[in-house]
Structure 1
Amino acid sequence: MSLAFAPAHTTATARTAAVRTAPSLPAAPARPVSIAPRTPSDAPQPGPVPIQQGARPAAPRVRAVPEGTEARGFVLYVGIDDAKAGADGTTLHRIVEALRALTADIAPSAETYAAVALAPEGAGGRDVDVVRLALQDPAALAKRRQEQGLHDDSDRHPNGVIIDISRKRVLLDGEAAGLTYKEFELLQYLVLREGRTIDRHELIANLWDADDEAPSERTIDVHVRRLRSKLAHYQDIVRTVRGVGYRFDRHADVSIRQASTPSPDVY
């Protein structure tokens, strides 16, 4: 299971990276401060302030990020299956909700997103490593390629359409399509249900939160039209089924990149 907590929408290109923190520093010992007694004739003079006993050290800082970037959130990978959760007297859903409640208590302005990581039954290795690979964690993938003696060619983009679900991006002939978060979510929903016609009501129910104002069917049509416009000469991969809804049709020049066992399930 993987839990991704972020204070802002990821783009979709929505990538995740684990945040490391520096080790906490021990509190500095209190030092005795000598203050000379003053007589009434003495003028008040600013003096050293005693250090309070038991003062806490400064909070650990997030590892420095490259210049020109900023930390926008973090990813927490949790490795545990249903059987182990049950043996601990809990469920995956309860763990998710508890972490969400903790986040809301500590940082009410934070936004959270949680998804289930699926893997083939009996997959070996540590649970957390299986989760990281299933969710296409870049560091885990790089380690696996190194172990297998493979080279990273993920940035060599042939002509055509690459829908990279793991990195939340779409490339057209090697160039980013520049989809908005909602446009990518719409395309991803259709891609994961390839060949099936999705009506507008289903799109509204699954792509808009219950707390948000539900859009009209006309709004869905506008989003689809903008999405197809950005797909340029590949726009016919999103088909309009008149009177019903929309469908994703894969062409020979369309490549889908995702985890080996994609999980559209979201807590």
Structure 2
Amino acid sequence: MSTNALLERPSTTRHLRAVTAPTPQLAPEPAAAAPPRAVPTGTAPRGFALYVGLDEAKAAAAGVSLGTLVDAIRRTIGELAPEAETYATVALAPAGAGGRDVDVVRLALHEPSAVARTKPEEPIDDEPIDGGVVVDISRKRVLIDGDSAAFTFKEFELLQYLVLREGRTIERTELVNSLWQGATEDEAPGERTIDVHVRRLRAKLGRYEDIVRTVRGVGYRFDRHADVIIRYGHGTPSPDRF
């Protein structure tokens, strides 16, 4: 079956619907606006891409097909935002290609950060820095005033997570869910334990501890700082925005 036929075949089974709440008895209060997400200067969001990792066999086991899912998503978007334009394509990969389905899809569709992971590493500038903090994401290390800081793996992950989401306040629950994915209930820390991790992180940052800011009652944020240099490299994680 051709790719076009797969995408254009009408669904006769089921499709997603926009979820609507029952009519309230009282007028609801306006929903709180989502917190602003930092975007690079000179750019503006124009849409989004949703990568779905699912082969035909897994779809069939769920009682659907890729064409059914595409049709369902389009119908839902049409109900929620009639002015939205949509385009769908199927990601084709060599039979038997290993790896997670969603990673294979991202690479097949040339998603930039997925493609970057397959390229050779570029030479990294090792010019010594006399003062300030260097967050070297490509080598997973932190230099403070030219010396390597003894960060644990989790401490570096925590700092990296904030750095890659510059300007955005990250709630404690998000940090737990993102940095302890797959952990059991006993292994995952409580929200207040995150405060302990942050205190230890700041202690190792020394006089630069204020690069990790506390937003009272919410969580933590990293803002652009004159004393901080970020060294990226191929394979740097893409900051998920949703």
TM-score, normalisation: structure 1: 0.47
The CA distance in 1 between the partners of 2:118 and 2:228, in whole Å, is 27
Residue 186 (structure 1) aligned to one of 158, 173, 176: 158
Query: Given residue 99 of structure 2, which amino acid in structure 1 is its aligned partner?
Result: V
Q: Per the alignment, do residues 122 and 86 of structure 1 end up closer, same or farther by CA in structure 2, a change over 3 Å counting?
A: closer
The CA distance in 1 between the partners of 2:163 and 2:176, in whole Å, is 16
Out of 220-229 and 157-166, give the one that drifted further: 157-166
SS in 1 for 2:139: coil
Q: Does 2:207 match 1:201?
A: no
Identity between Structure 1 and Structure 2 (%): 55
User: Structure 1, unaligned stretches of length 5 or more?
Assistant: 1-82, 99-113, 143-151
Q: Tell me, yes or no, if the aligned pair for 1:115 and 1:265 is still in contact at 8 Å.
A: no
Which of the two has greater strand per residue? 1
Counterparts of residues 10-159 of structure 1 (less than 5 Å): 86-89=92-95, 95-97=98-100, 131-133=118-120, 137=121, 141-142=122-123, 153-159=125-131
Which residue of the partner structure matches residue 253 of structure 1?
227
Q: Per the alignment, do residues 116 and 256 of structure 1 end up closer, same or farther by CA in structure 2, a change over 3 Å counting?
A: farther
Q: Does 2:240 match 1:237?
A: no
Query: Given residue 162 of structure 2, which amino acid in structure 1 is its aligned partner?
Result: L
Larger Cα Rg: Structure 1 or Structure 2? 1
Query: Given residue 94 of structure 2, which amino acid in structure 1 is its aligned partner?
Result: D
Question: 1:5-27: per-residue Cα shift (whole Å, max 9, x none)?
Answer: xxxxxxxxxxxxxxxxxxxxxxx
Q: Does 2:227 match 1:224?
A: no
Query: Given residue 119 of structure 2, which amino acid in structure 1 is its aligned partner?
Result: R
Q: Per the alignment, do residues 261 and 117 of structure 1 end up closer, same or farther by CA in structure 2, a change over 3 Å counting?
A: farther
The CA distance in 2 between the partners of 1:159 and 1:116, in whole Å, is 42
- What is the root-mean-square deviation in Å for CA atoms of aligned residues? 3.6
Residue 167 (structure 1) aligned to one of 121, 139, 157: 139
Question: 1:213-263: per-residue Cα shift (whole Å, max 9, x none)?
Answer: 221111100000000010000000000000000001221121000126733
* Offset of residue 129 of structure 1: 8.9
The CA distance in 1 between the partners of 2:204 and 2:158, in whole Å, is 13
Which residue of the partner structure matches residue 25 of structure 1?
none
Number of residue pairs the alignment of both structures matches: 146
The CA distance in 2 between the partners of 1:115 and 1:234, in whole Å, is 40
Question: 1:57-111: per-residue Cα shift (whole Å, max 9, x none)?
Answer: xxxxxxxxxxxxxxxxxxxxxxxxxx99714246xxx62149xxxxxxxxxxxxx
The CA distance in 1 between the partners of 2:139 and 2:105, in whole Å, is 16
* Offset of residue 158 of structure 1: 3.3
TM-score, normalisation: structure 2: 0.51
Higher-RCO chain (CA-CA 8 Å, sequence separation at least 6):
1
